[in-house]
Amino acid sequence: MTDRQMAQKQQAGEFAATLITDGMIVGLGTGSTVRFFIEALADRINSEGLDITGVTTSNKTSSLAKSWGIKLASVDEVSKIDLTIDGADEVDHQLNGIKGGGAALLFEKIVALNSAKNIWIIDESKYHDVIGQFPLPVEVVPYGSHQLLQRFLAADMQPTFRRTMTGERVTTDAGNYIIDLHLDRIAYPKSLAYFLEQTVGVVEHGLFLDTVDEVIIGGNQPTLISNTKPSC
Q: What is the CATH number of domain 136-205?
A: 3.30.70.260
**Consecutive H or E run containing 44:** helix 32-48
How much is the pLDDT for 232?
34
| Active-site position among 14, 108, 139, 204 | 108
Tell me whether residue 29 is annotated as binding: no
pLDDT tens digits for range 112-165: 999 999 999 999 999 999 999 999 999 999 999 999 999 999 999 999 999 999
Q: Binding residue per annotation — 54?
A: no
- DSSP single-letter state for residue 171: B
Mean pLDDT, rounded, for 172-185: 98
d(CA 116, CA 161): 34
Judge whether 100 is annotated as a binding position: yes
Query: What would the pLDDT profile of 187-227 be if each residue is shown by its tens digit?
Result: 999 999 999 999 999 999 999 999 999 999 999 999 999 98
Sign of CA dihedral 44, 47, 53, 54: positive
Taking the whole predicted model, whether its pTM rises above 0.85 is answered as yes
Residues 58-110 pLDDT 10s: 999 999 999 999 999 999 999 999 999 999 999 999 999 999 999 999 999 99
33 is in an annotated binding site: yes
H helical segments located in 68-224: 105-113, 145-154, 189-197
> Domain limits of the chain?
3-126+210-226, 136-205
Q: What is the CATH number of domain 3-126+210-226?
A: 3.40.50.1360
Measured between its terminal Cα atoms, the distance across the chain in Å is 38
108 is catalytic: yes
